[in-house]
Structure 1
Amino acid sequence: MQKMDWVVIPLRVLLVLVFIGLVVAQFMSLPGEFRQMAEENPESGPIPWLLLTFAILEVLCFQVVIVCTWRLLTLVRADRIFSEEAFAWVDAIVWAMVAAWVLLAGVATYIVAVIYFTPELRDPGTPILLTGMVLIGGVVVLTIVVLRALLRQATVLRTDLEEVI
């Protein structure tokens, strides 16, 4: 499917760059940032380390999505995207996004609860931002599920069409 190369090749370049950036963040930037936060605010206890764990797991979820997207692009180039093989990769994307969303919802709930019960932290901006992020994440996950259903329908239609021909 050479006509898709004008999209597939630049997308792969961007996926590689994003993946490299995520690896750098995962192993260098995030640990340093949260270590500094823990050193500057020792009264925060284990919270910086919990946030570091959350951030690394979120990054890992997005790395899974990148690898699965790469594999799907391979299927697109081979004109096999409408095959059962594609569903394993799409399902992995769905589950990685669900895991990322559940992690985000859990951390957001915890942070909002801490802010609500700590009078000196009652800034409404943070809970509003976190709630918005959780809602947007839910929309993204559900959109991916709908796209998976559309891929399933297209695969069935293509199989039926191939049988007719």
Structure 2
Amino acid sequence: MSPVTILTLRTALVLSLLGSLAVQILVLPTIWNDLGALPTAWRVTVIVILALWLVCLQVVALCIWRLVSMAAADAVFSVGAFRFVDVVIAAIAVAAVLTGALATMLVPGSAAPGVVGIVYGAALATGGVALVVVVMRSLLRKAIEMRSELDEVV
């Protein structure tokens, strides 16, 4: 991997982490206040869903950071990479479920049906991203197997 690519990826990851922390610190309390007219249990549930979604994003960013580091050290084609890829898949899947839960909470409220549909669509798309990573995981496994076979031949 080129140094420019690594630097670009790490910059994007740092910005993602800083942005998600800013949202947790600055935006979630504002959302809490904006939902003041709603029952406390509903407000707590919404904030918890949003906070957990952000944690999923942060977990994915940290795992990708580690995978980028492994790629920079030419060690990404190792069994150790699966641990990070598996965590990424789980975090994305949890984010998809959380997004679906948020959409479900919007159904009985005053949210427009189109908004609810968009949030459900986002949940479906997020689940699709998890499936894409599952496919990428299988490609990583194949690459490791092929590299092992090549090492044996050489």
Change (3 A) 1:45 1:66: same
Which of 126, 137, 151 is the matching residue for 1:148? Answer: 137
Q: Which letter does structure 2 place at the counterpart of 1:128?
A: G
Distance 2:95 2:116 in 1: 18
Change (3 A) 1:153 1:131: same
Superposed CA offset, 1:20-68 (max 9, x none): 111111122212x1232133x2xx1122221111111000000000000
Which of 30, 33, 36 is the matching residue for 1:36? Answer: 33
CA contact 1:72–1:81 (8 Å) conserved in 2: yes
CA contact 1:37–1:48 (8 Å) conserved in 2: no
TM-score for the superposition, normalised by structure 1: 0.86
1:98 corresponding residue in structure 2:
93
Which of 78, 82, 87 is the matching residue for 1:87? Answer: 82
Report the alpha carbon displacement of residue 122 of structure 1 after superposing the two structures with TM.
7.0
Change (3 A) 1:90 1:35: same
Q: Which letter does structure 1 place at the counterpart of 2:16?
A: V
**Where does structure 1 lack aligned partners over 5 or more consecutive residues?**
116-120
Which residues in structure 2 correspond to 1:1-165 (within 5 Å)? Answer: 3-31=1-29, 33-39=30-36, 41=37, 44-46=38-40, 47-112=42-107, 114-115=108-109, 121=110, 123-165=112-154
- Looking at secondary structure, tell me which structure has more helix per residue: 1
Distance 1:109 1:28 in 2: 25
Instruction: Report runs of 4+ in structure 1 exceeding 3 Å deviation.
Output: none
Secondary structure (helix, strand or coil) at the match of 1:81 reads coil
Secondary structure (helix, strand or coil) at the match of 2:16 reads helix
Q: Give identity over the alignment, percent.
A: 33
**Where does structure 2 lack aligned partners over 5 or more consecutive residues?**
none
Secondary structure (helix, strand or coil) at the match of 2:35 reads helix
Secondary structure (helix, strand or coil) at the match of 2:2 reads helix
Between structure 1 and structure 2, the one with the greater Rg is 1
- Stretch moving more, 153-162 or 45-54: 45-54
User: Cα RMSD (Å) of the superposition?
Assistant: 1.5
CA contact 1:68–1:89 (8 Å) conserved in 2: yes
Distance 1:19 1:59 in 2: 9
Report the alpha carbon displacement of residue 99 of structure 1 after superposing the two structures with TM.
1.1
Report the alpha carbon displacement of residue 128 of structure 1 after superposing the two structures with TM.
1.8
Secondary structure (helix, strand or coil) at the match of 2:121 reads helix
